[in-house]
Amino acid sequence: MKTELLKLLSRNARYSVRQLADMIGTDEQTVEKEIKSLEKEGVICGYKAVIDWDSVENPLVSAIIEIKVVPKADLGFEDVAEKISSFSEVESVYLMSGGYDLNVVVKGKTLQDVAQFVARELATIDSVTSTATHFVMRRYKELDVSLYEGEKDDRGNILI
């Protein structure tokens, strides 16, 4: 029930409690209670719209920043990750396996804004040894949602 509920909400957070209950095969009260407790436990952390920023008037630019870090003896990557997370320009922060340590997604109004933010705020952090900035050119899919016009339903209307 919990996994099923999360799966459905991650697909569409605007399903009504009744629709969720129908799809799961339970009653509305149970769903409501489960959602409340998942919110309280911090499993569900928020509800947001999936937006294609490229199709609004003044689109935001975003960049993926690969950051190499010297981890601190007792804190590891936590300290620097938390510091980077605290900037409002930063959309997401992930600790990575492989060639670099932190993957940071940054949003800004212009390329310059983002570049300056990286140079001034991220590159200057003590334990950061290098940054590599990759600007996003075009988005095709965001949070499971295709941002380009998908193929039409081309199923023939034959009586099967």
Partner 1 sequence: MMDYSRVLNKKVCDIEPSGIRKFFDIAATMDDVISLGVGEPDFQTPWAIRKAGITSLERGKTKYTSNRGLQRLREEISSYIDRKQSVKYKADDEILVSVGGSEAIDVAVRAIVGEGDEVIIPQPSYVCYEPISILAGGKPVIIETKAENDFKITPDELKAAITPKTKALILPYPCNPTGAVMEHKDLCAIADVLRDTDIIVISDEIYSELTFTEHGHTSIAQIDGMRERTILVSGFSKAFSMTGWRLGYACGPKEIIAQMTKIHQFAIMCAPTTAQYAAIEAMSKCDNAVEDMKAEYNRRRRLMVSGFNRIGLTCREPLGAFYTFPSIKSTGLSSDEFCQRLLDSEHVAVVPGTAFGKGGEGFIRASYCYSAEHIIEALNRIERFLKTL
Where do contacts with partner 1 occur on this chain (CB under 8 A)? 8, 12, 15, 19, 22-25, 153, 155, 157-160
Q: How far is the CB of 19 from partner 1 (least distance, A)?
A: 6
Q: How far is the CB of 158 from partner 1 (least distance, A)?
A: 8
56 vs 160 by CB, closer to partner 1: 160
Q: Which residue has the tokens 């769903």?
A: 31
13 vs 119 by CB, closer to partner 1: 13
**Could you say which DSSP state residue 97 is in?**
S
12 vs 129 by CB, closer to partner 1: 12
- Angle of the 2-11 helix axis to the 28-40 helix axis, nearest 10: 80
Q: How far is the CB of 130 from partner 1 (least distance, A)?
A: 38
Q: Would you state the structure tokens that stand for residue 51, as one six-digit string?
A: 């937006």
- Alpha carbon of 55 to those of 6, 51, 61, 136, 143: distances in Å? 29, 9, 12, 15, 17
